[in-house]
């Protein structure tokens, strides 16, 4: 009887641990391909945010994008000031890593966010439109 109680306790604790470790699987934002991203940004209601540095942005960026450097300590405050919380945001960076971090921050602020998977480098490789 004691072994059965211990076994049931172990199973319950294991189940709780598995649920706790799983967390959110999609981080509440969606990673999209360059083609999907291109389709989204054709909509005037989408805010395009380049989260790279000013230097990177000046070397080339997606037309119509707003540059808010995620590595800047004032990123969160700048996002509050410059972005409309009623509109969806499409974020990107060089490879997708920084923009995923930015997306997590923006989602916590209540924004709906799409992230360009594989970033601006992949965008350029595919011959998508850029401006200097």
User: Percentages helix, strand, coil for the chain, rounded to the nearest 5?
Assistant: 45, 15, 40
What is the number of alpha carbons within 13 Å of residue 15 lying toward its C-beta?
6
Domain that holds residue 70: 24-125
The reported pLDDT for the residue numbered 10 is 47
- The pLDDT tens digits of the residues spanning 26-39 come to 469 999 999 999 99
Residues 45-58 pLDDT 10s:
899 999 999 999 99
Residues 108-117: tens digit of each pLDDT: 999 999 999 9
Whether 87 is covered by a domain: the verdict is yes
CATH number of the domain enclosing 59: 3.40.250.10
Is the residue at 17 inside a domain?
no
Q: In this structure, is residue 43 part of a structural domain?
A: yes
The answer to whether residue 2 sits within a structural domain is: no
pTM: 0.79
Tokens of 6: 């211990």
Where does the pLDDT of residue 23 fall: very low under 50, low under 70, confident under 90, or very high at 90 and above?
very low
Asked if the model's pLDDT at residue 8 lies above 60, the reply is no
Residue 20 clears pLDDT 70, i.e. is over it: no
**Cα separation values, 120 from 52, 53, 85, 93, 129, Å:** 10, 13, 24, 6, 11
Looking at the 3D structure of the chain, how many domains does it have?
Answer: 1
């Amino acid at each position: 009887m004691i072994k059965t109680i211990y076994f049931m306790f172990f199973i319950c604790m294991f189940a709780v641990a598995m649920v706790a470790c799983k967390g959110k699987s999609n981080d509440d934002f969606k990673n999209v391909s360059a083609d999907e991203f291109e389709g989204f940004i054709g909509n005037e209601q989408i805010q395009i945010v380049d989260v790279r540095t000013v230097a990177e942005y000046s070397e080339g960026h997606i037309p119509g994008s707003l540059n808010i450097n995620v590595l800047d300590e004032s990123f969160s405050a700048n996002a509050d000031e410059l972005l409309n919380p009623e509109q969806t945001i499409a974020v990107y960076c060089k490879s997708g890593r920084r923009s995923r971090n930015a997306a997590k921050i923006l989602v916590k602020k209540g924004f709906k966010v799409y992230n360009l998977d594989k970033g601006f480098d992949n965008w350029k490789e595919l011959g998508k439109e850029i401006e200097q």
